[in-house]
Each structure stands twice: as C-alpha cells, then as structure tokens.
C-alpha cells in the first residue's frame, strides 16, 4: 500500500524565518514520483516540484529547496526567508505512471508578519 505522512499538522513562523516541512512516504514500487503542491486559501493546487525515485539530487528554486533521501523515504521541503504569501496548506504526494496521486494530510503553514 502507498502512504504519505506529513507529521506536522500546523506550523507557525515569523516572516523571514526558515521553515522545513516534512514528508515521509511508503511504497513498494521501485519507480515512483514525489510531488509537493501548495494550496492557498482559494483552494486550487499549485504545482511546486516533481521528483522521480531515481533522482536523489537536491533541488533549489529561489527560496524553495527540497531534500530527497531515499534511504529514509523522505522528501522534505524547506522555505528560506519565509514570507506572508507563503501561508498555505502544503501537500506532499506520491504518484506513479497511470495511477492516481496519494496525498499526505497536508501541513498548514502560517507565516506571521
């Protein structure tokens, strides 16, 4: 069975602080994909990143960075110098070719001014 765990239900930080959102997944597939999505209050899902299981290279995109560690089945997401506009619910998801996504429960991030 596939499962995604996001242990942090809610996180509050003060603007300009760094924050890391944890994601741990379970799958028996040898090939799979991991995603992070942002869901602002309006509800739509905003795609942030996709990572395939063969690519453990960490990635940085502006203030966002991702740390994929296959050995611990984790795909953590760090926001550097957080801003109020980063306030949202963030979902980690696990997917595979031709299959639906399995979403984690989400982490609600509040960035306070």
Partner 1 sequence: GAVVSQHPSWVICKSGTSVKIECRSLDFQATTMFWYRQFPKQSLMLMATSNEGSKATYEQGVEKDKFLINHASLTLSTLTVTSAHPEDSSFYICSARGGMGGGTLSGNTIYFGEGSWLTVV
Residues that bind partner 1 (CB under 8 A): 33, 35, 37, 42-45, 47, 50, 91, 95-98, 100-106, 108
Nearer of residues 5 and 80 to partner 1, judged by Cβ: 5
Nearer of residues 2 and 15 to partner 1, judged by Cβ: 2
Minimum distance, C-beta of residue 4 to partner 1, in the bound complex (Å): 9
Rounded distance, CA 104 to CA 46, Å?
15
Output the six-digit token pair for 10: 């809610």
**Cα torsion 65, 39, 98, 72: sign:** positive
Minimum distance, C-beta of residue 97 to partner 1, in the bound complex (Å): 4
Nearer of residues 39 and 80 to partner 1, judged by Cβ: 39
Beta-carbon contacts of residue 89 (< 8 Å; ≥ 6 apart):
38, 39, 106, 107, 108, 109
């Amino acid at each position: 069975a596939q499962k995604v765990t996001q242990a942090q239900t809610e996180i509050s930080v003060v603007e300009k602080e760094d924050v890391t959102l944890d994601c741990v997944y379970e799958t028996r597939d040898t090939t799979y994909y991991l995603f992070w999505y942002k869901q602002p209050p309006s509800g739509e899902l905003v795609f942030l990143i996709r990572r395939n299981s063969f690519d453990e290279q960490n990635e940085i995109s502006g203030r966002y960075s991702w740390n994929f560690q296959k050995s611990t089945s984790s795909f953590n997401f760090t926001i550097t110098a957080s801003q109020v506009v980063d306030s949202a619910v963030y979902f980690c998801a696990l997917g595979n070719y031709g299959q639906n996504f399995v979403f984690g429960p989400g982490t609600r991030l509040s960035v306070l001014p």
